[in-house]
């Protein structure tokens, strides 16, 4: 997605150690017009699939997911990164975060993820794939099916894509970053 890659080159900041900061337009401050264009691009990639629901994970996945859900007129469920004490009837999975160096529980209500659901999972980043694998586990526990996984940015030098490929689910990343560092970003292709 050229618009996105150009924006990453212009406003993204890269650092040694594979760090890419896009917090001025994607995951802290967000550009809603770009988010809508990202939604349109996900429609192109997933709109032909027989999906009835979009699933994402809080917080940075919500903006692109809601745009995709709006364009396809489908409900959007966001998986929570903490288990609320008031929530009943939950499905949970454990996810290890490299960034935070800790394991946390993610959860979703069984009311909103059932055996009837055919979903696309949307998130901002694919790095090691742990969050995506955790959400996939929740969907399996619900008896539902993931028909596709879409990421705004993929760090293709990390293990996520390789690990998700074993699930045999179509993966679409709108910008695949090959190398990072020294204020330089290179994309795949």
Confirm if 12 and 22 have CB atoms less than 8 A apart: yes
Between residues 162 and 183, which has the closer beta carbon with respect to its own copies?
A: 183
Q: What angle do CA 9, 10, 15 make, to 5 degrees?
A: 60
Q: Is 167 labeled as ligand-binding?
A: no
Residue 154's contacts (CB-CB under 8 Å, 6 or more residues apart) are: 125, 126, 127, 160, 161, 173, 175, 176, 177
Q: Should residue 22 be labelled a site residue for its own copies when binding is judged by CB under 8 A?
A: no
Q: Does 74 interact with its own copies (rule: CB under 8 A)?
A: yes
Contacts of 165 (CB under 8 A, 6+ apart): 171
What are the b/e assignments for 115-153, b being 16+ CB within 10 Å?
eebebbbbbbbbbbbbbbbbbbbbbeebebbbbbbbbbb
Nearer to its own copies, 35 or 149 (CB): 35
H-helix or E-strand spanning residue 184: strand 184-187
What is the nearest approach in angstroms of its own copies to the Cβ of residue 108?
A: 8
The yes or no reply on residue 46 touching its own copies (CB under 8 A) is no
According to CB under 8 A, which one of 23, 105, 137, 140 is a site residue for its own copies? 23
Would you count residue 58 as binding its own copies (CB under 8 A)? yes
Q: Which of 76, 138, 146, 177 binds its own copies (CB under 8 A)?
A: 76
Of the candidate spans 21-29, 41-49, 161-169, 180-188, the one that interacts with its own copies by CB under 8 A turns out to be 21-29
The answer to the question of residue 160 lying near its own copies (CB under 8 A) is: no
Contact 45, 150 (CB under 8 A): yes
**Residues from 26 through 45 that contact its own copies (CB under 8 A):** 28-33, 35-36
* CA distances in angstroms from 184 to 35, 37, 85, listed in the order given: 24, 24, 44
Does 126 belong to an annotated binding site? no
The annotated binding site for xanthine is made up of 20, 27, 155
The annotated binding site for 5-phospho-alpha-D-ribose 1-diphosphate is made up of 127-131
Site residues, its own copies (CB under 8 A): 19, 23-25, 28-33, 35-36, 58-59, 62-63, 66-67, 69-70, 73-78, 80, 84-86, 99-100, 108-109, 111-112
């Amino acid at each position: 997605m050229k618009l996105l890659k150009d924006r990453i080159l212009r406003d993204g900041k890269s650092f040694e150690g594979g760090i890419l900061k896009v917090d001025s337009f994607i995951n802290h401050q967000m550009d809603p017009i770009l988010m809508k264009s990202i939604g349109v691009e996900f429609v192109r990639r997933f709109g032909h699939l027989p999906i009835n629901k979009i699933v994402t994970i809080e917080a940075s996945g919500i903006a692109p997911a809601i745009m995709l859900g709006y364009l396809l007129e489908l409900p959007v469920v966001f998986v929570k990164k903490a288990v609320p004490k008031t929530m009943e009837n939950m499905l949970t999975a454990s996810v290890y975060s490299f960034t935070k160096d800790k394991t946390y529980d993610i959860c979703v209500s069984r009311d909103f993820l059932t055996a009837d659901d055919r979903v696309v999972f949307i998130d901002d980043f694919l790095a090691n794939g742990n969050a995506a694998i955790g959400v996939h586990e929740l969907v399996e526990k619900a008896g539902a099916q993931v028909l596709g996984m879409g990421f705004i940015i993929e760090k293709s030098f990390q293990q996520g894509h390789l690990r998700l490929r074993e699930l045999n689910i179509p993966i679409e990343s709108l910008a695949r970053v090959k190398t990072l560092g020294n204020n330089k970003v290179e994309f795949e292709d």
